[in-house]
Structure 1
Amino acid sequence: MGPGTIIYHAFSNNDVNKALRFEPSKVDQIWRFVTYMLVHDDWYHLILNVVIQCIFALLLENRQSHLRVLLLYILGGISGVLGASCVHPDLVIGASAGVYALLISNVADIVLNHGNLKYKIYRITSIAIMVLFDVIYDMVHIYSKKEPLISWEAHFVGGLAGLLLGLVLYRDDDEKPSKTSKINRALFWTGLILYIALVISFLLLMIQIKRCTPVDTIYVRYVYFC
């Protein structure tokens, strides 16, 4: 995830970025729902995302499989831009929706394995500090009206998707059936149903927005980065 994004940023050009970024008028080009996460505004934007991504991805990959963590990251990114497109139908670039999905999915891992995990308090505290710092930074950035604008919707929906997907994709450490495993099974179905409902709702809303909005008014006003 991280190294590939850095390599892309180092060798990409404006034409390639235009072909990969998310554009609300080109939602039929479905690759944009994933490839927008490769495009970043500058090196600061990129490095910040990659550092946070690698820290939490490595932590989770040691407990869960690489494939589960990668799938959660990608689906979190897709969910985040879906949510953003329903609130601000403009350009979106950056991987923060996927990063937030990884970050908040730690909560799901802790819930599923609360009886077996060490350092639960430290993990929760570090997550809370990072989220608080990001919220403060976003508020300052938004009220100062700096561009490019921050897509807080992508952050929020990506984090919500990470929590729900974590309940679905992550596994607990208990191999023997127990009361906890029954609770985790209920959490699995709850997370799956809520995530499917969330995605379907955003898809229907996005389609309705495009269908009811004249083509000449769907245009790029801002670049939102996340």
Structure 2
Amino acid sequence: MLVLTLFWASSFPAPYPLSYLQQLDPDNTGFIGVETFTGLVHSHELPLDPAKLDMLVALAQSNDQGQICYQELVDLISSKRSSSFKRAITNGQRALPRDGLLDEPGLGFYKRFVRYVAYEILPCEMDRRWYFYQHRTCPPPVFMATVTLTQIIVFLCYGARLNKWVLQTYHPEYMKSPLVYHPGHRARAWRFLTYMFMHVGLEQLGFNALLQLMIGVPLEMVHGVLRIGFLYLAGVLAGSLTVSITDMRAPVVGGSGGVYALCSAHLANVVMNWAGMRCPYKLLRMVLALVCMSSEVGRAVWLRFSPPLPASGPQPSFMAHLAGAVVGISMGLTILRSYEENLQDQCGWWVVLLSYATFLLFAIFWNIFAYDLLGAQVLPPP
């Protein structure tokens, strides 16, 4: 009760005597009724965000007593939400105003974009409102923007150097790049990641860059650079390692492993939360995304086994696309399940992480021993 009383004393401009404040909680329970609290806010013009007040009222109306405690108020003001707090909010969200974020007038361009991101990514109206009101511009979504910009710069540099902008991999000098993954250079471990900066040609670069910006940036804005960066790089690494196991003679270029990890994670999240998603034309957009992704995989398969031009060696493999999709569906659903909940608190996260670590260890031993044991005929690197 003492802490709650001190909070009331510090919240209101008028110096109220202790006896008056104790009348708010005569039984010294540490709680205050929601009607009393709401009346105090309006009568004394306490500067509390109306949206947060709605959430607090919803929280109070979700319990049997209709009361607010000090810690709940502190959690709300400081934008922290414990599991019990979030469950209570979810149970009481029917007490919130019926109007959604889409009905809010007078928003600037950036706030409208944040609202768009909330409806694109989050399946729960309560989470959308929470994200919208507590979102900060810092840190910006720098990971996906940096990766995309770097890929474009690298492509332009090699395009100018080779004087070739379409199907660059058919140029005899292309595979000499220190960034390309080549089975003959397996010992150079950085190539298992740096191949994401190289692309077959303008078509693949344009497809990957478009998806990274359209899907990756909103995901990063909601879930943060660490989660989305990890998911993207996990897809990239799984792509090259899968190729080294299943298509042992083929090189790999392009960021498709990471792109497909992001896309498949987002699409799986939409399917799992279909009823709650409010993005417009979601069925049509999902069908178009699946058609585009399937077409890109089909094009990669065609270039791998039926190249349109004579080539000096095997063309880049398509298995990175499929590996990225598997990583996105398995790992992405855990990462995107809650944009606030700590991953270390989720049992499923540890299962997925252990499975991924097991795959990495298997792939590492495969690359060290299997090529020699199986007598794989790998063309010498250029």
Question: Same fold by TM-score, threshold 0.5 exceeded?
Answer: yes
Q: Does 1:33 align with 2:179?
A: no
Q: Does 1:192 align with 2:353?
A: yes
Higher RCO (CA < 8 A, seq sep 6+): 1
Q: Does 1:134 align with 2:293?
A: no
**More displaced 10-residue stretch of structure 1: 94-103 or 15-24:** 15-24
From the superposition, tell whether residues 126 and 220 of structure 1 become closer, same or farther in structure 2 (CA, over 3 Å).
farther
Structure 2: how far apart are the matches of 1:25 and 1:136? Answer: 26
Aligned residues: 214
Q: Does 1:204 align with 2:350?
A: no
Q: Does 1:45 align with 2:191?
A: no
Structure 2: how far apart are the matches of 1:192 and 1:112? Answer: 21
Tell me the equivalent position of 1:62.
221
From the superposition, tell whether residues 102 and 174 of structure 1 become closer, same or farther in structure 2 (CA, over 3 Å).
closer
Unmatched 5+ stretches in structure 1? 176-180
Tell me the equivalent position of 2:246.
87
| Contact 1:164-1:194 within 8 A present in 2 as well | no
Q: Does 1:163 align with 2:329?
A: yes
Tell me the equivalent position of 1:4.
150
Structure 2: how far apart are the matches of 1:44 and 1:32? Answer: 22
In the TM superposition, residue 52 of structure 1 has moved relative to its aligned partner by: 1.9
Deviations along 1:21-71, one digit per CA (max 9) or x if unpaired, are 112222222111111111123223322221122212123123311332122
Counterpart code for 1:62: M
In the TM superposition, residue 9 of structure 1 has moved relative to its aligned partner by: 1.7
Q: Which has the higher helix share?
A: 1
Structure 2: how far apart are the matches of 1:21 and 1:3? Answer: 18
Structure 1: how far apart are the matches of 2:381 and 2:188? Answer: 20
**More displaced 10-residue stretch of structure 1: 91-100 or 132-141:** 132-141
In the TM superposition, residue 185 of structure 1 has moved relative to its aligned partner by: 3.2
Unmatched 5+ stretches in structure 2? 1-146, 162-172
**More displaced 10-residue stretch of structure 1: 162-171 or 97-106:** 162-171
Q: Could you tell me which of 283, 287, 291 is aligned with 1:125?
A: 287
CA RMSD of aligned residues (A): 3.3
| Contact 2:268-2:333 within 8 A present in 1 as well | yes
- Secondary structure in 1 matching 2:277: coil
| Contact 2:253-2:316 within 8 A present in 1 as well | no
Q: Percent identity?
A: 25
| Contact 2:183-2:244 within 8 A present in 1 as well | yes
Structure 2: how far apart are the matches of 1:53 and 1:27? Answer: 27
In the TM superposition, residue 11 of structure 1 has moved relative to its aligned partner by: 2.3
| Contact 1:83-1:202 within 8 A present in 2 as well | yes
Structure 1: how far apart are the matches of 2:182 and 2:301? Answer: 24
Structure 2: how far apart are the matches of 1:71 and 1:17? Answer: 28
